Structure 1
Amino acid sequence: MRLNYYQVLLSTSLLTVLFLVPFCKVNAQQQFSLDQIIRLARDNSLSAQQAENKKENRYGSYLKYKSNFYPQLSLEGALPDFSRAIDPVTQPDGTQKFIPRSFANSYLGLKLKQTISATGGEIYLESQITRIDNLAEEEGGSTTSYSGNPLVLGFYQPIFTHNWLKWSKKIEPIRYQEAEKKYDEELEWIAWKATDLYFNLMIEQINYRIAQKNLKSSTNILEKSEENTNVSESEKLQMELSIMKAQSDVASAELRADNAMLRLKTFIGLSESDKSFDLEIPKEIPEFKIDDKIAVKYAKKNRQRYLSFKRRKLEAERDVARAKAESNLDLYLTGSFGLTQQADNLPGVYENPQNQQRVRLGFVIPVADFGRRKANLQTAIANQKLVESSVAQDEINFEQEIVVLTKQFPILVNKVKTTNKANEIAEKRFNLSHKQYMRQKISATDYNLALQEKDKSTREYLKALKDYWLAYYDLRMKTLYDFEGNMSMIGM
């Protein structure tokens, strides 16, 4: 059955309407907006789970760091430590004699210690008890004795050495703040990546529909041309070639759309077996003014990267301090004060205990290390200078990156508007060319040129939309500030 001119025109017009509103329900498929896809990605994607896991991991590390400044209570012991051996034993006259011995030691101690971050030292309080069982082979020869320290107060204080606690107190809180800000940035990166995949799929779906529409249009025109005796054989052959190319384009576009659908499904946490869906073209784009100075201000306040500049300089400063400390005299002071006693029974250990004191001043003086300490110090100082210059350059790049993005944003807004207008004009021109070709007022070549221009303008409009939304979420990611709602996104 042949279609007349009005049937061809009607079918083409319907296809045009279908393209202009491409996401009304097709084949009863579910539709998703950009916001819905982003929410799915943030809730279900593996990237979101990994971001949450990294945040929890960093929180665990922070709690471990904090525990260094709290008292630590420990119970240790040996129950029992048995030994049977032939050991050298010193005799009353000073000589030694090998004697078989069997004995068991039992030990139990409770210790409470507290680090002092200001000095890098440690104080402790402990109580301990020791039991010795001499297991003689002859009958009645076994003996038991006890010794203990009911209460001992002690300390350990390094002098002129590197105080790692003081530096960790400066650096670790910054690391934790970085982790919190990094989590917020990763959520915005997920939004950016979901947007990228969203528009990749949308473009491929549109390309597939364009290919289908072009194939249908070319087929209808060929059918009409066969009824017209004035159409040359060359034009008919050209239309047949166009149909063959359109068929190939449909197959290729369908494959690309399927692959883009799979990539998006995988990222947002859907399985391959889940039903495919259509995507809505964002009908409106948010427009707002961005002051580059304000953007830089919030980027410095909110971004993990800017905090890392401070941490890197502190770490370099710490390494220099450690290298200086290791190149000098290593001096430490220890002491303990408490009570001690020994007895043949356990209660006797706690009766009339005697005083016990111990003080020790130890040192290590570097004499000859063939320049190792000096080389370590020079390396640390050189690395500090390198870090300071690198951070200074990174800060400049950091600010320039934000400024360039804010300057680019109005251009992208304008590009969306102009490409949208160009797309509407190209669509009207194609419709006009279609009517003229059906009336044999233009050649097939002119018709194909109008078709190609329409397809090109449609793709340029979608690309402009993609560039805008990627820049939109890139700006949010790099400032952690919602310029549309005028609010910070830290902790949201």
Structure 2
Amino acid sequence: MMMNKLLIVLTTMGLAIVAKAQVIQKLTLQESIQIASDSSLQSFRVNNLYQASFWEYRAFRAARLPSLTLNMTPVEYNREFIRRYEPDSNIDVYRIQQSLYSSANVAVNQNLDMTGGTFFIDSEFGFFRNMGQTAFTQYSSVPIRIGYVQSLTGFNPFRWEKKIEPLKYEKAKKQYLYSREEVSESVIEHFFTLALAQAEYEMAIDNVKSADTLFHIGQERFKIAAISQADMLTLKLDAINANNSLKNIEIELKKATFNFRSFLNLEEGNQFEIVLPQRPKDLSIPIDRALDYAQANNPDYLGNRQEIMEAEREADKASKEAAFNADLWLSTGFNQVAGTVSGAYRDPLQQNIVRIGLSVPILDWGVRKGRVNMAKNNLNVARISVQQKELSLEQDVMVTVSDFNIQQDMINSAEEALDLAVAAYNATRQRFIIGKSDINSLTLSLNRQKEAQKNYISVLKNYWLSYYRIRKLTLYDFERQAPLSFLFDKMNNVR
């Protein structure tokens, strides 16, 4: 049966002129997907994109913890003319000044999510030497200083970060799984393209053999006037066309093999065989369940929430900064200046600093009002855009699930049609050999067999594409009845 022949191993290395004795690796569809998920260049890109998001989230988490910073000016040398007032002559004169300066500051900073301000504790030491006509050296110190910096507009960037950044990271994890399923879809395209090319190559070889056999039979029958000269010439033409077709199909097979090998990032020297998947078992996927899983797992839903939150943040910022900009700086500590290092730390004096910065627009010709309205309009646009995206995504899920459920019935029909086409061709061929069928019937039967074979592989390909597209849209494995988060846990060694 041709059906059994289709399910036999499809050998992609059959075109090699010289085949060395070595182990040939057999690749099923699932094994090909696994190799691509681990080794393909597309998979490397997926992993790197996730790692970038992971470290971005780590940076956000780190910003919530106290940070220790060292700020230094190791050396600053100045030689310049400066203007000085001369009291004896009551005039300003330019005098040359040379100085050397150095400083260091160690600070501990803590961002406060609740208020949006920053609390800090720091210590500072400075050195100054005047190298002009009046040379002297001074050391300054701030043994300890405690302070707080706060924006007074009411906009709290830390609070928004605390809401958005975890959502972005959760989206990145979902996007990683989503992209892995996109890799699987690409593998299916390459896998079945190669399977179809190999099947056509096998059919072309059989066609060459069959055409040659029929041509020789035709020659013998022509000698006894059992067939016309036109039929005999048609058989000869079929034999020539079969050989030409085989050469063209060999080229397509080489291309398909190269693309498959390149996508899976397989080494050039390795030989492999691909095995067509068996007829899939019946699997019914309810549309309502698929929609529920998509809403819970699809990264686009998280992306939509992120888009709205970011638009709300910009609207909040624009409205709260529209009236004025103001910030508060409070600090208290000790400082001292002396001619020696030890003196700079002896009997420090108290240092208190209170500073309020205020910027109030008096006339800006509606610039800030325009920013507020633009931010609000962007928020409205984001909400409408999200609604449209979610409706489109729901429709995509429903169409894909419906198509998948139909594909299972189509596989049954394609399988039955292939069996019938193979049986019909074999019967017609035998009838032609014994002279009970003409060349037109034989050619028509052969073409029907080819089309049935191609259609079966195409339907099988569409079935697996639909299934993996559902997995991608829902991030759920309906065969295992489990979410695809186990792939993410596997990558991160979560037990």
Q: 2:199 aligns with which of 194, 201, 206?
A: 206
Q: CA deviation at 1:440?
A: 0.3
Question: Who is 1:111 aligned against?
Answer: 107
Q: Distance in 1 between matches of 2:110 and 2:3?
A: 77
Specify the code of the residue in structure 2 equivalent to 1:23: V
In the alignment, what sits opposite 1:156?
149
Query: Number of aligned pairs?
Result: 474
Question: Is the aligned partner of 1:247 residue 2:247?
Answer: no
CA distance in 1, matches of 2:77, 2:216: 103
Report SS of the residue matched to 1:386.
Answer: helix
Post-superposition CA distance 1:292-328 (Å, at most 9, x none): 1111111111111111111111111111112212311
Q: Is 1:486–2:481 an aligned residue pair? A: yes
Q: Is the 8 A contact 1:296 1:399 kept in 2?
A: yes
Q: TM-score, normalization: structure 2?
A: 0.91
Aligned ranges 1:159-178 → 2 under 5 Å: 159-178=152-171
Partners of 1:302 and 1:490 within 8 A in 2: no
Aligned positions of 1:114-125 closer than 5 A: 114-125=110-121
Residues 130 and 31 of structure 1, relative CA distance in 2, 3 Å threshold = closer
Tell whether the 8 Å contact from 2:6 to 2:199 is kept in structure 1 after alignment.
no
Residue 23 of structure 1 pairs with residue 16 of structure 2:
no
**Secondary structure in 2 matching 1:484:** coil
Change (3 A) 1:468 1:264: same
Following superposition, the deviation at residue 89 of structure 1 comes to 3.2
Alignment of 1:154-303 (within 5 A): 154-228=147-221, 229=224, 230-271=226-267, 273-303=268-298
Distance 2:261 2:115 in 1: 56
* Letter matched to residue 179 of structure 1: A
Q: 1:132 aligns with which of 128, 153, 158?
A: 128
Matched position secondary structure for 2:114? coil
Number of the residue aligned with 2:491: none
Residue type at the aligned position of 1:455:
K
Separation in structure 1 between the aligned mates of residue 331 and residue 8 of structure 2, nearest angstrom: 83
Alignment of 1:287-436 (within 5 A): 287-436=282-431
Match of 1:289, SS state, is coil
Per the alignment, residue 76 of structure 1 pairs with 71
Say which SS state the counterpart of residue 328 (structure 1) adopts.
coil
When structure 1 is superposed on structure 2, of 422-431 and 225-234 the one drifting more is: 225-234
Tell me the equivalent position of 1:463.
458
1:81–1:105 contact (8 Å) kept in structure 2: yes
Q: CA deviation at 1:135?
A: 2.4
Native 8 Å contact 2:96 2:132 kept in 1: no
Is the 2:107–2:123 contact (alpha carbons within 8 Å) kept by the matching residues of 1?
Answer: yes
Q: Distance in 2 between matches of 1:485 and 1:129?
A: 65
Shift of 1:161: 4.9
| CA offset digits 1:79-109 (Å, max 9, x no partner) | 3322233333345678644333333222222
Q: Identical aligned pairs, as a percentage?
A: 26
Q: Distance in 2 between matches of 1:278 and 1:77?
A: 64
Over aligned residue pairs, what C-alpha RMSD do you find?
2.1
In the alignment, what sits opposite 2:442?
447
Letter in 2 for 1:220: T
Residues 421-470 of structure 1 show CA distances to partners (whole Å, capped at 9, x for unaligned) of: 11001101111101100110011111111111111111111111111011
C-alpha distance in 1, partners of 2:401/2:285? 6
**Residue 234 to residue 295, structure 1, CA distance change in 2 (3 Å):** same
CA contact (8 A) 2:108 2:122 kept: yes
8 Å contact from structure 1 (residues 184, 491) kept in 2: no
Give, in angstroms, the shift of residue 20 of structure 1: 4.7
- C-alpha distance in 2 between matches for 1:418 and 1:85: 93
Cα separation, partners in 2 of 1:21 and 1:63, compared to 1, 3 Å:
closer
**In structure 1, distance between residues paired with 2:204 and 2:444:** 15
The answer to whether the 8 Å contact 2:7/2:276 transfers is no
Structure 1 runs not aligned, ≥5 long? 1-12
Hey, what does 1:87 align to over in structure 2? 82
- Equivalent residue, structure 2, for 1:57: 52
* 2: CA distance, partners of 1:110 / 1:20: 74
Q: Determine the C-alpha separation between the residues in 2 that align with 1:92 and 1:480.
A: 83
Do 1:286 and 1:484's aligned partners in 2 also have CA atoms closer than 8 Å?
no
* Structure 2 residue aligned with 1:6: none
Q: Secondary structure at the match of 2:328?
A: strand
Rounded Cα–Cα distance in structure 2 between residues aligned with 1:244 and 1:275 = 34
- When residues 291 and 361 of structure 1 are mapped into structure 2, their CA distance, relative to the original with a 3 A threshold, is same
TM-score by length of 1: 0.91
5+ residue gaps in structure 2?
Answer: 488-495
Task: Answer whether contact 2:70 2:105 (CA < 8 A) is retained.
Answer: yes
Q: Distance in 2 between matches of 1:478 and 1:224?
A: 57
Contact 2:3 2:418 in 1 (8 A): no
User: Do the aligned partners of residues 201 and 490 (structure 1) sit closer, same or farther apart at CA in structure 2, a change above 3 Å counting?
Assistant: same
